[in-house]
Amino acid sequence: MPQLPSNPAEIKRILEAALLAAQQPLSVSELRQMFDGELAPEVVRKLLDELREEWSERTVELVQLATGWRFRTRTEYMPYLEALNPEKPPKYSRAVLETLSIIAYRQPVTRGDIEDIRGVTVATQVIKALEERGWVDVVGYRDTPGRPALFATTKKFLDDLGLRSLTELPPLEQLNQTLELSDAS
């Protein structure tokens, strides 16, 4: 186990190296492993905040996600990077996106719940596409006849959208207020 450097600047560089090389987001506790747990979580968090600040004006940015911290390229460079990578991520149909929204905002939901909201049958491949992306999974079964599977979004979904938690999802349009207002009138 390597030594804990006495110099905070050096510790920060080690955190930076680890985060730049990581294949998945690294949590504070994972980062502390590098120093045999000898570094207090608050210190790691403080250094991470400093790192985020240091990188804020650069081509890649340090973001805090659901499962930890990770560097990512700034969105403005994507048009150029796309030219390098001919493999494009899937572009989702409205059916997939609406299903994803319902799972994200109303989770946990069954396929029946999704169908009730959308007013149409949900094709198997719609849910499958989301499961294959690792964005939704089955978190349980509702205790009703047929024991339908309950779907919820995963941490990967939050990570891939750069969110720390579901509360960071874009707020829903407050359409209900209109309803209440006009009911009152």
Partner 1 sequence: MSDTPVLDDIPAPQAAPAQEALARIYGQPLEQLPLDLYIPPDAMAVMLDAFEGPLDLLLYLIRKANVNVLDIPMAPLTLQYLEYVEAMRSQNMELAADYLVMAAMLIEIKSRMLLPRAKQAEEDEVEDPRAELVRRLIEYEQMKLAAVRLNEHPQAERDFVWVETWVEKSQMQRFPDVSVADLQQAWQSILRQAQLHTSHKVQREELSVREHMGLILRQLKEADGFVEFIHMFDVELGAPSVVVHFLAMLELARERLIRITQAEAFMPIYVRLAIADDAETPLTEEEAGQIVEIPAEEGEGDAPVTV
Q: Which residues pair with 153 in a beta bridge?
A: 136
Work out which of 28, 35, 104, 136 binds its own copies, going by CB under 8 A: 35
Of residues 21 and 181, the one with the C-beta less far from its own copies = 21
Of residues 63 and 138, the one with the C-beta less far from its own copies = 63
Q: Shortest distance, CB of residue 15 to partner 1, whole angstroms?
A: 14
- Report if residue 29 touches its own copies, rule: CB under 8 A: no
- Report if residue 56 touches its own copies, rule: CB under 8 A: no
- Piece of the chain touching its own copies by CB under 8 A; list 28-36, 111-119, 120-128, 151-159: 28-36
Size of the site for its own copies (CB under 8 A): 28
Of residues 40 and 82, the one with the C-beta less far from partner 1 = 82
Q: Shortest distance, CB of residue 100 to its own copies, whole angstroms?
A: 22
Is residue 136 a contact partner of residue 157, using CB atoms and an 8 Å limit? yes
Helices of type H across 107-141: 111-118, 124-132
Q: Which does 29 bind (CB under 5 to 8 A by kind): its own copies, partner 1, none?
A: none
According to DSSP, residue 39 is labeled: S
- H helix or E strand, kind and range, residue 45: helix 41-55
Q: Shortest distance, CB of residue 121 to its own copies, whole angstroms?
A: 37
Of residues 7 and 171, the one with the C-beta less far from partner 1 = 171
Q: Which does 43 bind (CB under 5 to 8 A by kind): partner 1, its own copies, none?
A: none
List residues near its own copies by CB under 8 A. Answer: 1-2, 13-14, 16-18, 20-22, 26, 30-31, 33-36, 59-60, 71, 73-74, 77, 79-81, 83-84
